A = this chain, B = another copy of it.
């Protein structure tokens, strides 16, 4: 069965402001120093998906930039443009419909555009098993991440082994826990981080849409019926903006029967904010992480991201210093979560030209 990749690259996200902006969201950032995140995500699938079978779903305002920045990796007709952001269920349903209508039924692997994965070989091994699970069982399959610390920032998946099979049976999806619960999950060993990676047959997920999210399925059917006709774009523009906003986790995964999970231990990081850049960058001996042109003079444990200008950090500690196209941010590493307040404030003050 043919294996397709679907990269969800719709995210706005403010946690890397001012490096990321509305015009240039996180997936277009080169955080590792090697390539932009979305290209790293495309290239990472090379071990089990042919490049011409990879699709990207993104906001239509970013489709042009996506085509340009992926530099020939992805053909224009493999960039699925959403006229509006309607959460992950809509995005996944649209891509599944595209596959069954224009290609064929096949295994559909869904990824976020922006995680970093250190051990690509192990990643490929696990993903191949996930593909195998979806093929053999016709189940919805997810890839959970073996926790390395008691994170309160992710949802968790509780699962139990399946006899003589490399995958596990999902018992429950649980919300982001408090610190005590997170520690208990880590100790228990039966909980994995919900990474938002899914593998299933396109026809299978559409069946779940019909059953569990009939309103959305009705919209998807209208879009599917117009696919390949002159009216395709017109119908998408008409129908998409009114698709109910719901996540695939909440709308389907938590309610489906017999969900399977592969546990991954391949150095996954969602690179969620400036304080997690150490997952993609090496610290110098003073604990600083730097990108762009920098000068450190007695600076310690700083995260310094220059874009166009030299950044000189003198005698400072534990600071984020980030220069984007339109703005410079200086903030203690420990207050990285306050960046969204800055963004909100700028919106309120009518200064969204800096966002």
- The oligomer's copy count stands at 2
Question: A295-335 CB contact bits vs B (8 Å, 1 = yes)?
Answer: 10100000000100111111110010101101111111001
Binds B, one of A124-132, A151-159, A207-215, A336-344: A336-344
Inter-subunit contact A330/B321 (CB<8 Å): yes
Inter-subunit contact A345/B315 (CB<8 Å): no
A266: interface (CB < 8 Å): no
Inter-subunit contact B310/A354 (CB<8 Å): yes
Question: A314–B342 Cα gap in the complex (Å)?
Answer: 8
Residues of B within 8 Å of A315, CB to CB, are 331-332, 335, 338
Q: Which residue of B lies closest to A317 (CB)?
A: B332
A18: interface (CB < 8 Å): yes
Q: A297-B338, A323-B309, A338-B297 are in contact. Are A330 and B345 (CB under 8 A)?
A: no
A351: interface (CB < 8 Å): yes
Question: A311–B330 Cα gap in the complex (Å)?
Answer: 8
Identify the A interface with B (CB < 8 A): 18, 293, 295, 297, 306, 309-316, 319, 321, 323-324, 326-332, 335, 338-339, 341-342, 345-346, 349, 351, 354
Between A and B, 27 residue pairs with Cβ closer than 8 Å are A295-B345, A295-B351, A297-B341, A297-B342, A306-B328, A309-B324, A309-B327, A309-B328, A310-B326, A310-B327, A310-B328, A310-B346, A311-B327, A312-B327, A312-B328, A312-B330, A312-B331, A314-B330, A314-B331, A314-B332, A314-B335, A314-B339, A314-B341, A314-B342, A315-B338, A316-B319, A330-B330
